[in-house]
Structure formats: structure tokens, C-alpha cells
Amino acid sequence: MNSVLTVFSLILCAFVVLAVPTLVTPYAPVYGVVSAFDTSKAFILCAFLATAVGFIALRQGANGPFLARLFVAALLVRVLLGTLIFVFNGQEFFGGDAITYDYYGLIQLKAWLGDRYFQNVIKGYVGGQEAAGWGMIYLVGGLYGLLGRNLLAVQFINAVMGATTSVVVFLIAFQIFNNIKVARVAAIAVAFYPSLVLWSSQGLKDGPIVFFLALSFLATLKLSEKFKFRYMAILVCSLFSLLSLRFYVFYMVTAAVAGAFVFGMQKVTATSFMRQFAIFITLGLALTYLGVTRYASVHLGNFASLERMQRSRNDAATSAKSGFGREVDVSTTEGALNTIPVGLLYLLFAPFPWQLASLRQSITLPEMLIWWASFPLLILGLWFSVKYRLRQISPILTFTVMLSIAYSLFQGNVGTAYRQRSQLLVFYFIFVAVGYVLLLEKREERKRRDLAEQAPTRARIATSPSPQR
């Protein structure tokens, strides 16, 4: 397996160098200057980050070799797909936001360098740090300041984050269930499920969001066992990153994490109570220091209303052919409650076969068949987890329920629901893995029982005298 990955890595390196030579980026020149970039810089940065993650994966005890191979394989798939999308200018087809982030990331860099015109332009777009979604612009701008304008480098960084997410999901599943089969199935699903690969292969913020989500819950699980400053730092940094990328996800994760520490994920003892209290206070002080209270006052004032949710949902439902529920009104409590069942149905299962009216929608059918077939396993795994691991899964369960309900309310577009489902799939797949392993164990138990029942008969046949001729 190692030799296969090595050969494939070398082939992919050659492909990237030959297919994407030093060239001019085709998107949105600023000041009339079209920026050239060097492919080698993107590749070197990717290799450096991948080496660091691979080293960390190898240090995970007996699971290290598997995690390292899984990470490399997941990364190679994403780098290959990301390179193909870049070479054939597929950003507009698969995710037009990448072009927006590329453009405004360069503007942000020029604003940091003191250009007053671009300072006004970028302020009009993101509205300052208190507005929504400024983190991706800062990430792209900072990377362009380091390497020059280089959209491929953004894609490769996202590819590293996407591949690393599979490792983090393995650690989460193993931490909760202490079952190597469950952890491996969940990690493999996250590593190679098509939509998760697609969104983390482009210059979109979906990959970083999913990565920091998984990292937040891993740090939470580790802190529930023992207070360590490195996990505290990981949790604070992950939460703040989520705030900068998608603020409402941050508030849901924070609520889930805080609830887990208040009520506890382990049996309550004097030691665990003091540990959870220390974590809760430290987390609150750290987030306050980072200005979360200031962000919260702006976000709650500008976005937290059913009327605002209705406007957002109506725009999504009417601005594209894939909109649904145009007659729905979530501006009232009654309307919102009535919308949740239909919204959940679309969030979980769309696009449906009768909605595949274009090439972009049709290519989702194979993976949707896999997902629809996996849903019974999700229900089985969720039932088992709630029954036997409720405390351990409480932060993940709380978050997934809150985000599922939120998206069912304000998502009115099939394409957007399909894309944002990725933030939930990484955790859904943990429960799918539990359900799958439960079925395997039941099948193995049935085989053992059948063999045990057949054993006396076989023994009698073996000891019976041979008939005389």
C-alpha cells in the first residue's frame, strides 16, 4: 500500500507540474494588472503542510500507519480533483464563490498594504470584522501576501484540511466508541465521499468550516478526560475560526460545547466537576478576550430574527431554478414550525431524482444513492449511540440537531442545501459507521450461533461407527 501511494504521489506531482505551469490567473484583474503565479509555491506549501499532518498521524500509536496512509490517499484525491478544476476553469461550474474569494482576497491584501481605495472597497464587501464571513477573505489575502496571487495554493490548503478531517473524525469516533471498526469506517467515508472531496478541493470555505468543526469536537472530547492547555488552545482557535467563517455555526458549536462541559460527558465526581468548571471559565475568558461579545451584539442585532431568515430563504428559493418552498413563510413561529419537516426532508435527501434537470445536478446521483442506502444505518447507529453513549455524543448530537433545524428553516435552494449538508455529513457518518458495525456483528454472531448448533450433529457423525460391508 505504501509503495502504491508513493508511486501515485510521484505521478501526481509530475501531472501538476506539467499541466499547471507558471501561468497567468484568468480571474478578475485588479488595477488592470493580471497576476502571474508559480505552481511550485503552491505545491511546496501543500507538501510542507502534508508532511506536518502525516507526522502527527503517525504518532497516533498503533493506528498511526493506517491514519497516515488514509491521509495521503485522501489528499492525493483532492489535489488531483482540485488541479483538474483549476486547469479547466471549473470554478464557476462547481463553486463560483472561489472566484469571489480570489478577487476580494487580493483586494484585502492591497488594503492591508495601505491602498485607501481598496480599503473602502473591501469594507463595503465584508463590512469589517463584525460582519459575516470575513475569515475566508483574510485567509486568501494573507496567503497571497506570502506567495503572491495563487488560487491553486488556496485549493491545496483546503485539500490538506479536507484530508486531515478524515483523521480527526477517526479520532473522534474512536474516542467515543473505542471501536476500531467504527472509527475506520467513519474515517474512510469522510475521506472519499464525493461531495466532501469536491468541496474541500476548491477555494471555498466549506472545507475549513468542516475541518474546524471536527477539530472543535475532538478537543472537547479530549478536555472532558483531562485538562490540557494544547487542547484548550485548539478549541479556542477552532471556535474563533468558525466565527470568522460562518458565525451562526460558531454559536451553535459553542452552545453544544458549553452544554457538554456544564452537564458533563463523564460521571460527575469532585475532580471532573472542578475540571469542567475550569474549562468553562477559561473558554469564556478566552472568547471574551477575542471580542466574541462584540461580534455577538452585532450578529444578534442584524441577523437573529425570523424576518431576516424569511428574506434569506425567499432569496434562495426564487433566485434559482432549484429553489423550493417559495410559498413558505418562516417569519412567524407557526410558519417556522410547519416548515421544519419539509425543510429537513430536502436538507437530508435532496436532490431527488425528479429534480435532476441539469448536468451539475445529475452528477450527484451516484453519491445520493449511497447516502439514501446509508440512512437506515444512520438511524440504527444513532439509536445505539443515544442508548449507550449519550453523554459522550451529547455535544455532537446537540450541534447536529440545531444546525439541521436551522438549515431546514432558511435553506430554500436544493444546491445550497446539498452543499451545506457537508457540515453535517462528517458527524452523520460516525453514526452510519456504528450502524454498519452493528450489522456486521449481528451477522457474525448469527454465524457463530449456527456453527454452535451444528456442532453436536457433526460430532455424532464423526463418532458414529462405519456401516459394515
Instruction: Identify the DSSP state of 466.
Output: P
CA distance 360 to 349: 16
Is the per-residue pLDDT at 292 higher than 60?
yes
Give the pLDDT of residue 355: 72
| Span 171-203, pLDDT tens digits | 999 999 999 999 999 999 999 999 999 999 999
Name residue, grid cell 477555494: 203
Most confident of the following: 222-231, 304-313, 404-413: 222-231
Written as one letter, the residue type at 175 is Q
Residues 6 or more apart whose CB falls under 8 angstroms from that of 291 comprise 129
Asked whether the bond before 395 is cis by omega within 30 degrees of 0, the reply is no
Give the pLDDT of residue 28: 44
Give the pLDDT of residue 36: 45
Return the domain boundaries, the chain.
1-204, 225-300, 305-448
| C-beta atoms surrounding 317 within 10 Å | 19
Is the per-residue pLDDT at 296 higher than 70?
no
Mean pLDDT in residue range 114-130: 76
Is the per-residue pLDDT at 456 higher than 90?
no
Give the pLDDT of residue 469: 43
Written as one letter, the residue type at 130 is E
Instruction: Identify the DSSP state of 62.
Output: G
C-alpha cell at 26: 484568468
CA distance 91 to 209: 19
Give the pLDDT of residue 235: 94
Q: Answer for the pair 210, 162: CB distance below 8 angstroms, yes or no.
A: yes
| C-beta atoms surrounding 95 within 10 Å | 20
Backbone region of residue 320 per phi and psi (left: phi > 0; alpha: psi in -120 to 50; beta: other values): beta
What's the Cα-to-Cα distance from 163 to each of 207, 354, 423, rounded to whole Å? 9, 33, 15
Q: If pLDDT is split at 50, 70 and 90, which confidence band does 34 have? A: very low
| Span 240-267, pLDDT tens digits | 999 999 888 898 898 888 888 776 666 6
CA distance 275 to 266: 11
| Span 432-451, pLDDT tens digits | 999 999 999 998 888 888 77
Q: If pLDDT is split at 50, 70 and 90, which confidence band does 339 have? A: confident
Q: Answer for the pair 205, 246: CB distance below 8 angstroms, yes or no.
A: yes
Give the pLDDT of residue 3: 62
Name residue, grid cell 456544564: 262
Q: Answer for the pair 121, 109: CB distance below 8 angstroms, yes or no.
A: no
Q: Are strands 23-24 and 36-37 parallel, antiparallel or unpaired?
A: antiparallel
Phi, psi of 265 (to 5 degrees): -105, 0
